[in-house]
Structure 1
Amino acid sequence: MELQQMRYVVAVAETNSFTRAAERCLVVQSALSHQIARLERELGARLFERTSRRVRLTSAGAAFLPAARQCLDAAERAAAEVAAAVGEVRGRLAVGLIPSVAAVDIPGALREFHEQYPSVRVSLRVGASDELVEQVRQGAIEVAFLDLPTTARPEGVEARELARDCLVAVVAPDHPLAGEPAVDLGRLSREVFVDLPAQTAGRAQSDQAFTDAGFSRDVAFEVTNTDYLSRLVAQGLGIALLPSTYVHQLTGVRTIEVTDAPVRVEYVVWSRADRTPAAAAFLAVLDIPAQSPPVTD
């Protein structure tokens, strides 16, 4: 069994096509098909069901795919570790982030990182804070930038607190509150809201603030992307609470100070047990030491 055969299997599984897989792997289709057939004979099972209209994994192929990916990841990691041992950082770096990161200039940090380590291939993945923490724990991403309410902490990962920030109200330019210098949660509770989905960390900090203040509110629209959230606000569909350090980049809306605003804490997190050379180098660019002190209040 060869690594190249595993690469071919993964490519076919991800593209659902022998033709597209061959194009991705830069080989002729006959060579790719031959190698997969050879692997199937060695394993004693067919990995794909092939028809004139589609290609899909068999049950044996579905069982083989995760292990093949792990082997390929391990091989890539081994090559990266050897390169690091002789002073070269290469391989891949997966970075997760929430859309409203404000404590770190991510594009600027990546530019500096790329200038120092041009051989590293970087992928960015946007998601919710709780999802990003889980992906770091599972090893799907190496470093993540996220936020949590002051009552929560990242669990099962190394973490460094980057900043704390109060939320502000965001309204349409013609909203009755647009000219107010400041409001409180009691006044805002009478408005219709646009917010992140329920059960997400970004939503939880606002929900908890209203609950603690003794108010309920109506969230009429749930949006996973903060940029699109602000576009709904600009159309007058509701108001929102967003970090004060993030809203300056929004257009078509007005911001208002909230006197009893909830606070969010921004973190950078990474794996406790399995940090790649690329991840260590990226954290160094952010001036984060190998061992970060524990997060405290």
Structure 2
Amino acid sequence: MDFFELQAFLKLSQKLHFAKAASEVNLSSSALSRLITRLEEETGSVLFDRNNREVSLTQDGIRFAEFASKCLEEKQELLFDFEHRSDEVRGMLHVFASVTACYSIMPPFIRELSEKYPHIQLSIETGDPALAIPAVKEGRAELAVAAIPYENKLEFDTVHVSRSPLVFAASCDGPFTKISGSPQDIVSSVPLILPKAGLARRRFDSWVKSRNVKPVVSAEAEGNEAVMALAALGVGIGLVPKIVLDYGPYKEGFVYHSAGNALGYYDIGFVQKAQVTGSESVRRVRAAVTEILHSLDTL
């Protein structure tokens, strides 16, 4: 096996989708499939469970992913050390952020980091905000923009950046621009577009259960941007943090309805593991990142 094969394996372990992973490593789906088969033959183990509908890591695959990740990180560290024998802070920083976070939270951080530490390279994965904390827990990202968790505080180092209420977003061209009544009345009479997972969904489910409310759910989506795309079609009102409407492409074309105090606020910020592990280079990058984070102004 070689480094490219390990990189391709890791990409598939993250995407769990052959076509998407193959595109990112510049292979065809069939070529990626053959590569994985070669790795399985070489390791003498089944690394992925595959069928026509889904791909998942086996237990051996999880162990191999840990090995591959560590191997590639050590390779990167070694190359950096060979190429740059100086006191400059160098290394790779893996970040997970939603598309909205890339519009709103990330720019000041990236500007500061680039100015003070130009030799820190960024690898940014975008996706559903519900996946941000798991990405840090699993080690796929050293840093994430997320709704700051109230549980397991000792596990994470968090930096608060912004606070945003949860609201119901409606398309200006749709039938739900003018609705009235209490939050209970709205969710039981107006079609809703809800996130499939994450803090907003957990709060919503807990709230309707406590109020014995039967919501009208027209659709579920992965991520705030997907919720907004469906809301733009006029099929319902989407539950999102207001920050999604304040930044990026959703400033125009939408109105929002307050959820009152029923669903509370999102405390949004940067999240990283409290415990620092790894090589000296990794520790220096972490120290630099922490310095930048604590110097940021809140939104």
Distance 2:106 2:87 in 1: 25
Report the alpha carbon displacement of residue 217 of structure 1 after superposing the two structures with TM: 0.8
Partner of 1:239: 237
Report the alpha carbon displacement of residue 246 of structure 1 after superposing the two structures with TM: 2.6
Asked if the contact 2:224–2:244 (Cα under 8 Å) also holds between the matched residues in 1, the reply is no
CA, structure 1 residues 157+103, in 2 after alignment: closer, same or farther (shift >3 Å)?
Answer: farther
Distance 1:139 1:281 in 2: 19
TM-score between the two structures when normalised by the length of structure 1 = 0.68
- 1:51-90 matched pairs, under 5 angstroms: 54-55=34-35, 56=37, 57-61=39-43, 66=65, 67-77=67-77, 86-90=86-90
Give the letter aligned to residue 168 of structure 1. Answer: V
Partner of 1:156: 155
CA, structure 1 residues 184+260, in 2 after alignment: closer, same or farther (shift >3 Å)?
Answer: farther
Partner of 2:121: 121
Unaligned residue ranges in structure 2 (runs of 5+): 13-24, 26-30, 48-59
Report the alpha carbon displacement of residue 6 of structure 1 after superposing the two structures with TM: 4.1
Report the alpha carbon displacement of residue 228 of structure 1 after superposing the two structures with TM: 3.0
Residues 143-194 of structure 1 show CA distances to partners (whole Å, capped at 9, x for unaligned) of 1111168x756573222333332212211225555245x7531221111111
Residues 67-91 of structure 1 show CA distances to partners (whole Å, capped at 9, x for unaligned) of 3441331343467689999531111
Asked if the contact 2:10–2:68 (Cα under 8 Å) also holds between the matched residues in 1, the reply is no
Distance 2:121 2:68 in 1: 21
Report the alpha carbon displacement of residue 201 of structure 1 after superposing the two structures with TM: 2.4
Question: How many residues in Structure 1 have an aligned counterpart in Structure 2?
Answer: 249
Asked if the contact 1:170–1:241 (Cα under 8 Å) also holds between the matched residues in 2, the reply is yes
Partner of 1:10: 6
Distance 1:106 1:7 in 2: 30
CA, structure 1 residues 133+78, in 2 after alignment: closer, same or farther (shift >3 Å)?
Answer: farther
Distance 2:175 2:195 in 1: 23
Secondary structure of the structure 2 residue equivalent to 1:167: strand
Unaligned residue ranges in structure 1 (runs of 5+): 17-23, 25-50, 290-297
- 1:106-255 matched pairs, under 5 angstroms: 106-147=106-147, 152=151, 156-175=155-174, 177-179=176-178, 183-189=181-187, 190-197=189-196, 199-249=197-247, 250=250, 251-255=252-256
Give the letter aligned to residue 10 of structure 1. Answer: L
Asked if the contact 2:192–2:238 (Cα under 8 Å) also holds between the matched residues in 1, the reply is yes
Partner of 1:98: 98
Partner of 1:283: 290
Distance 1:262 1:135 in 2: 25
CA, structure 1 residues 252+152, in 2 after alignment: closer, same or farther (shift >3 Å)?
Answer: farther
Asked if the contact 2:194–2:227 (Cα under 8 Å) also holds between the matched residues in 1, the reply is yes
Secondary structure of the structure 2 residue equivalent to 1:246: helix
Distance 1:258 1:273 in 2: 37
Q: Which has the larger radius of gyration?
A: 1
Give the letter aligned to residue 155 of structure 2. Answer: G
TM-score between the two structures when normalised by the length of structure 2 = 0.68
Report the alpha carbon displacement of residue 138 of structure 1 after superposing the two structures with TM: 2.8
Asked if the contact 1:162–1:266 (Cα under 8 Å) also holds between the matched residues in 2, the reply is yes
CA, structure 1 residues 139+93, in 2 after alignment: closer, same or farther (shift >3 Å)?
Answer: same
What percent identity do the matched residue pairs reach? 19
Secondary structure of the structure 1 residue equivalent to 2:269: strand
Asked if the contact 1:96–1:124 (Cα under 8 Å) also holds between the matched residues in 2, the reply is yes
Distance 2:143 2:158 in 1: 10
Partner of 1:258: 259
Partner of 1:30: none
Asked if the contact 2:97–2:124 (Cα under 8 Å) also holds between the matched residues in 1, the reply is yes
CA, structure 1 residues 166+69, in 2 after alignment: closer, same or farther (shift >3 Å)?
Answer: closer
CA, structure 1 residues 229+134, in 2 after alignment: closer, same or farther (shift >3 Å)?
Answer: closer
Residues 100-143 of structure 1 show CA distances to partners (whole Å, capped at 9, x for unaligned) of 44996312321221222222221112234453222212322111
Secondary structure of the structure 1 residue equivalent to 2:155: coil
